[in-house]
Amino acid sequence: MYKRNRTAKAGLLVLACAACGTLSAQKEYPKQEKMTPGMSEYWTPQPKVVTPGEPNANAFISAPSDAIVLFDGKDLSAWKSAKEGEAKWKVENGAFTVVKGTGDIQTKQEFESFQLHIEWQIPANITGKSQARGNSGIFLQGKYEIQVLDCYNNETYVNGQTGSVYKQTPPLANAMRKPGEWNVYDIIYSAPVFKEDGTYRVPPRVTVIQNGIVLQNNTTILGTTEYIGFPKVEKHGAGPLILQDHGDPSEPISFRNIWIREL
């Protein structure tokens, strides 16, 4: 009698659980609220302004012997359009300038960990404010953006300021030269290592030095640098450097003297 009752109770429990599962499957839960860009932006505290040392007119740092030269002032043969075909940005006077509307450009070669040297210039006649003023970006492995922007007397949200890991980590200082002068980035980047499930075993890390001033000091990158929303972890291998055609209405910026050392 006891055994029969126990069996009957077990059967009822199975039926009840099945019913719960059916109800649970039919129940609708709220969807995630729609994100806006401002949800991942913050404005304070603003990094302190640090005036870089004065540039010497002849202080052009040529590439070391073991570097891969990505731009030597002559052509964009090391680059291609991020969409398709050849890079369409304008080469002139030892530099190249964004051609608005032609899209991002990326290196033909892909990289993992590296040391990157790149020089960039905000035009002297720049207009606009906040993010609509000389906006571009350098994407490491095509995933993680180091912000390029004119932050000389131009405030914006700090995790989108010059030298930020975009929408993640603000720079330690504002080291901008005034428009019309060349800025220098030296970037040391350590590529991530992934587990089999696609999560980070070792996250990517970056050090950014602008005009001799440290902006990021071995900073952990949390994931992809999203304009809307928060970082995502996406498993990947070697990737290109991408330079951004941002599309803001201000005058286009220029780049020169780009070289990279694989680490």
Per-residue pLDDT tens over the stretch 26-81: 888 888 788 888 878 868 888 878 677 666 555 567 888 899 999 999 999 999 99
Type of residue found at 124: A
Q: How far lies 1's CA from each of 4, 5, 6, 7, 10, in Å?
A: 5, 6, 9, 10, 14
Total number of residues shown for the chain: 263
Quote the pLDDT of residue 2: 47
Answer whether residue 163 shows pLDDT above 90: yes
Type of residue found at 257: N
126, two tokens: 């720049």
CATH top class, domain 37-262: mainly beta
160 neighbors 171 (Cβ within 8 angstroms): no
Quote the pLDDT of residue 134: 83
What's the whole-number average pLDDT of the chain?
A: 88
pLDDT one-digit tens code per residue, 212-228? 999 999 999 999 999 99
User: Regarding predicted confidence, which is higher, 251 or 165?
Assistant: 165
104 neighbors 98 (Cβ within 8 angstroms): no
Q: What would the mean pLDDT of 192-209 be, rounded to a whole number? A: 97
In eight-state DSSP terms, residue 9 is H
7, two tokens: 């069996």
Residues contacting 251, CB < 8 A, separation 6+: 123, 125, 126, 127, 134
Quote the pLDDT of residue 255: 97
Q: How far lies 133's CA from each of 101, 127, 157, 177, 206, in Å?
A: 16, 6, 13, 14, 25
Q: What would the mean pLDDT of 108-127 be, rounded to a whole number? A: 96
Q: What is the pLDDT confidence band of residue 107, given thresholds at 50, 70 and 90?
A: very high
Q: What would the mean pLDDT of 3-10 be, rounded to a whole number? A: 51
Q: What is the pTM of this model?
A: 0.83
Answer whether residue 246 shows pLDDT above 90: no
Q: What would the mean pLDDT of 86-98 be, rounded to a whole number? A: 95
